[in-house]
Amino acid sequence: MSEETLRDDYLTDEIEKLHEGLFVYTNQQQNVDLSNYTAVLINFKNMDACSNIINLNKLIDNALSLGITLILLNVNDGKPLSRMIGMGLRGKCIIVRPYSGYRAFNVLGLYQEDSFQCGQSEVTQNSDGNRCFNVVEKPCCDCPDQEYSGSFEKLCSEKQARAIENILNTEFSVPQEFLCNSVGDTPASLPENQFKLNYLAIESMWNLSETQVTNNSVVMEITLIASFNPKYKYLRIRSVGAGFNPANGAPMDYNNTYDRGFFQSAVKIHMQPETDQLRTLSTDPKNINNQSQYITSSSFSVGVDISKNPTFKASYDISESLTTVVSDFNIYNNGAGVTADWDFLLSITENSIWDIFSEPFMKKGQVKSLPALATKNLQAVTETVWYGENTLTDTIGVQLYWKVDHFHCWVTGNWASYTENYHHKWRTLGYVDTPVYIVFFFRFCVIIIRGCLLGIP
Task: Please state the length of the chain.
Answer: 457
Peptide linkage before 175 cis (omega within 30 of 0)? no
With 50 as the cut, is the pLDDT of residue 90 above it? yes
Domains of the chain are: 3-108 (no CATH), 112-150+173-438 (2.70.240)
Reported as a pLDDT band with limits 50, 70 and 90, residue 456 is very low
> How many helices (H) and strands (E) would you count in the chain?
5, 24
Identify the band that residue 255 occupies on the pLDDT scale cut at 50, 70 and 90: very high
This prediction has a pTM of: 0.92
Torsion of CA 217, 220, 221, 225, to 10 degrees: 180
Contact of 208 with 246, CB cutoff 8 Å:
yes
| Radius of gyration of the chain measured on its C-alpha atoms | 25
Question: For the purposes of burial, counting CB atoms within 10 Å of the CB of 48, is it exposed (0-12), middle (13-18) or buried (19 or more)?
Answer: exposed
CA distance 387 to 384: 10
Q: Look at residue 105 in the predicted model and tell me its pLDDT.
A: 98
| % of the chain residues with pLDDT over 70 | 90
pLDDT per position as a tens digit, 256-277: 999 999 999 999 999 999 999 9
Rounded Cα gap, residues 429 and 268, in angstroms: 10
Q: What is the pLDDT of residues 358-380, one digit of tens each?
A: 989 889 999 999 999 999 999 99
Q: Look up residue 276 and give its DSSP letter.
A: S
Question: Could you report the per-residue pLDDT of 411-444, keeping only the tens digit for each?
Answer: 999 999 999 999 999 999 999 989 999 999 654 3
Distance CA 349, CA 352 (A): 5
451: pLDDT strictly greater than 50 = no
Give the whole-angstrom CA distance, residue 364 versus residue 56. 68
pLDDT in tens, 27-84: 877 888 999 999 999 999 877 655 678 888 899 999 999 999 999 999 999 998 998 9
For 371, residues 6+ apart whose C-beta sits below 8 A from its C-beta are 327, 328, 346, 348
Model confidence over 120-179: pLDDT tens digits? Answer: 999 988 888 788 877 766 555 555 545 455 578 888 999 999 999 999 999 999 998 888
Angle separating helix axes 53-65 and 78-85, nearest 10 degrees: 60
Residue 167: the pLDDT is 95
- 152 in Cβ contact with 92 (< 8 Å): yes
Q: How far apart are CA 132 and CA 335, in angstroms?
A: 40
For residue 305, pLDDT over 90 is answered with yes
67 — alpha (psi -120 to 50), left (phi > 0) or beta? Answer: left
Q: Which residue has the higher pLDDT, 448 or 218?
A: 218
DSSP structure string for 138-185? EE-TTSPPP--SS-GGGS-HHHHHHHHHHHHTS-----GGGTS-BSSB
60-71 exposure pattern, b = at least 16 Cβ within 10 A, e = fewer:
bebbbeeebbbb
Average of per-residue pLDDT values in the chain: 89
**Which residue, among 148, 160, 70, has the nearest Cα to 112 in the 3D structure?**
148
